[in-house]
Structure 1
Amino acid sequence: MSLAGSRSLFSLVFLVGAFASWAAFNLQAGGGLDSCPLWGVQRGLMLLLAGTNLLAALQGPMRWGRPLYWGLNLLLGVLGVITAGRHVLLQNIPSEQLLACLPDMPFMLRHLSWWQALQLVFMGTADCAEVSWTLLDMSLPEWSLLFFLLVLALGGYRLQRSLRAARQAAALP
């Protein structure tokens, strides 16, 4: 596995994650899309993923650094799939069955434990069930789910390859 190959993949994941976060922010701010708390969590995970991959691309990790970064990608991909998957599921539930609204995240974090706030966010609101924008007949959470699934697949594959290469290099005299 070449260093250039790893750097270019880290750069690609950074660019796609940064673009997706930028596009989502602009659609919400300029397009007037309602903000579901789950969408905020997904954007946060995309930004963490973009930042992790930017750091990896700039650092150019060696033998044991690559598995660390691909492992972080894998972890963030799993969290993203869980969050986006829940959002897609909520879009298939009638909005009458969901909470009407939630307080904003800073308020919840001031007055509730972190775990309680996260549970409320995952319960979803009527805003989460609304599909107000699509591209190629896919909503933003569905695009987010696709992105996180691709990151999960790429992270798992590259982590496995990186670990194998690191083990082989450590076994050499």
Structure 2
Amino acid sequence: MNIVKFNPRLWFFLGFTGCCALLAMGAFMQFVEELEPCPLCISQRLAILSTGIIFLFAGIHNRAHKVYAVIGAISALIGASISTRHVWLQHLPPDQVPECSPGLEYVFQHFPLADTIKLMLTGTGECAQIEGIFLGLTIPAWTLIAFLMLAVFSLATIWLKAHCEQTDV
């Protein structure tokens, strides 16, 4: 007998709340701690935002849990790939770090969209700078862990839903 029944809607709303917390932490670091985000940081925030929106829609829609779980995991894994690139750039020897770019505002105003997107996804010299370390890991490394956890969290709904349906029989 299950005392607590698994609820995919609640699970997705919890994932959405986690994404909101990650975005709030990014805003705190930018506006309170005055850490200026690099292009890869902004790309990671957009991936967190998209994952959170997918989780929100999944919680509201209350149908097609498997589809939302897979799409949410894909979104989180895209974010994880951006974070992996960021961590890789931070571990390059100084002579192999790409050149710094002009500010993002300048890039958005003067560069073609394709070049701007490429810059946002590949990173620049600013992305190699390490602004802070917590428990031995950089901010992009913690973001990578968060993305992997979000992907597992999303896919876990499939397993939990199937497991709860089997035990209810």
8 Å CA contact retained: 2:108, 2:116: yes
What SS does the corresponding residue of 1:100 show, helix, strand or coil?
coil
CA drift of 1:3 comes to 8.0
CA drift of 1:109 comes to 7.4
Amino acid at match of 2:68: Y
Q: What is the TM-score normalised by the length of structure 1? A: 0.78
The one of 39, 42, 47 aligned to 1:40: 42
- Structure-to-structure mapping, 1:102-141, within 5 angstroms: 102-104=102-104, 107-108=107-108, 111-114=111-114, 116-141=115-140
CA drift of 1:25 comes to 1.2
CA drift of 1:155 comes to 2.6
Q: What is the TM-score normalised by the length of structure 2? A: 0.80
Moved more, 85-94 or 133-142: 133-142
Structure 1's 35 and 94: CA in aligned 2 closer, same or farther, altered over 3 A? Answer: farther
What residue in structure 1 maps to residue 101 of structure 2?
Answer: 101
TM superposition outliers: structure 1 runs of 4+ over 6 Å? none
- Structure-to-structure mapping, 1:24-173, within 5 angstroms: 24-59=26-61, 61-62=62-63, 65-96=64-95, 97-104=97-104, 107-108=107-108, 111-114=111-114, 116-159=115-158
Percentage of matched positions with identical amino acids: 21
8 Å CA contact retained: 2:6, 2:160: no
CA drift of 1:118 comes to 2.7
8 Å CA contact retained: 1:34, 1:127: no
Distance in structure 2 (CA, Å) of the matches to 1:29 and 1:120: 23
8 Å CA contact retained: 2:90, 2:128: yes
Distance in structure 1 (CA, Å) of the matches to 2:73 and 2:105: 26
Root-mean-square deviation over aligned CA pairs: 2.7
CA drift of 1:15 comes to 1.1
8 Å CA contact retained: 1:11, 1:54: yes
Aligned residues: 160
Gaps of 5+ in 2: 164-169
Distance in structure 2 (CA, Å) of the matches to 1:139 and 1:13: 23
Amino acid at match of 1:51: I
